[in-house]
Amino acid sequence: MSTADDVGAGPGYTARELTVHRRPAELAKVTRALRATGRPITLVPTMGALHEGHLELIRAARKVPATVTVVSIFVNPLQFGPGEDLDRYPRSFESDVDLCREEGVELVLAPEPVDMYAPDHQIGLAAGSLGEELEGASRPGHFDGMLTVVAKLIGIVRPDLALFGEKDYQQLVLIRRMARDLNFDTRIQGVPIVRQHDGLALSSRNVYLSDAQRQAALGLSAAMAAGAHAGPAGPEAVLAAARSVLEAEPLVQVDYLELRDIDLGPVPESGEARLLVAAKVGDTRLLDNALVQLSA
């Protein structure tokens, strides 16, 4: 493994080595030095258990000319509620680092909770009313915790660009709003959902699913596809089409199925909209969403 100094090469440098930092202050020192050389910095925040969806974000980062790519791997306790899967959340640190290395990532930040949160940590962000809707209605405080850690990661790395998956669409919308409302000097960019060949959106939580549950979970992506297909017929038709697919799957317990505008405001009469679903399959909470083109 390289030392932190090795990554400070000039523009156009292609990394073959990677450095893992546990302590945020050490990583911040490295990114500060890199910034001084003029290299752009791109951040990909993750909770680890990396899969092709995460790798797509990393590949999008690597396309930025001459950029240093920083991947954070941190299972953020602040965004898990009581009774959620914090303790059993899948962890595969060694193979995550190998994948990052193969993808040309130069810096990994992998702190422990104690490195991120002082014992008397008190200050955090409030996601506002959108943070209480959709995912937020079932997961109180989730988006406050998520925004707090993303703001901290951006504060540590101070990236020019940070990438987030459309898979967690509400998260992406809220992070964009945070960057706007708090005047962050970091551009936020979304990356389309990566799916398996049969449509299932990749998620670290998919490992929880039994074969039968995985089969049922295909109902989510099928419902999104059916809803998108019905777009020209209008909002009611979209929801009806998606609902009928979901109702055919007894193992899928829908939490919400909603059609919103692309900023998650009320659904428009025409133009682009976003169809979003959350459901439990067994004990596993799954999300999916799709762009819907409503009648012009």
To ligand AMP, the closest distance from the beta carbon of 81 in angstroms equals: 15
Paired strand residues for 289: 276
- How many residues touch ligand AMP under the rule CB under 6 A: the total is 17
- Give the list of residues 6+ apart from residue 255 with CB closer than 8 angstroms, or none: 138, 278, 279, 280, 285
| Smaller CB separation from ligand AMP, 157 or 202 | 202
Q: CA-CA distance, 168 to 204, in Å (whole number)?
A: 12
Which of 156, 194, 230, 278 contacts ligand AMP by CB under 6 A?
A: 194
To ligand AMP, the closest distance from the beta carbon of 109 in angstroms equals: 13
Paired strand residues for 271: 294
To ligand AMP, the closest distance from the beta carbon of 276 in angstroms equals: 13
Q: In what order do the strands lie in the sheet with 161-165?
A: 19-21, 107-109, 68-73, 41-46, 161-165, 187-191
Under the binding rule (CB under 6 A), the answer on residue 177 touching ligand AMP is no
Closest residue to ligand AMP, based on beta-carbon distance: 165
| Smaller CB separation from ligand AMP, 56 or 103 | 56
Strand 107-109 to 19-21 pairing: parallel
Note if 197 is an active site residue.
no
Residue 214 Cα distances to 45, 54, 205, angstroms: 26, 20, 11
**Rg of the chain (C-alpha set):** 20
Per CB under 6 A, contacts with ligand AMP among 138-167 are 164-165, 167
| Smaller CB separation from ligand AMP, 57 or 209 | 57
To ligand AMP, the closest distance from the beta carbon of 248 in angstroms equals: 24
Q: CA-CA distance, 26 to 8, in Å (whole number)?
A: 14
Which of 99, 110, 125, 191 contacts ligand AMP by CB under 6 A?
A: 191
| Smaller CB separation from ligand AMP, 53 or 141 | 53
Quick one: residue 215, left, alpha or beta (phi over 0 = left, psi -120 to 50 = alpha)? alpha
Which of 21, 54, 121, 142 is labelled catalytic? 54
**Residue 205 DSSP label:** G
To ligand AMP, the closest distance from the beta carbon of 137 in angstroms equals: 19
Per CB under 6 A, contacts with ligand AMP among 37-96 are 46-47, 53-54, 56-57
Please give the positions annotated as active site.
Answer: 54
Binding site for ligand AMP (CB under 6 A): 46-47, 53-54, 56-57, 164-165, 167-168, 191, 193-194, 201-204
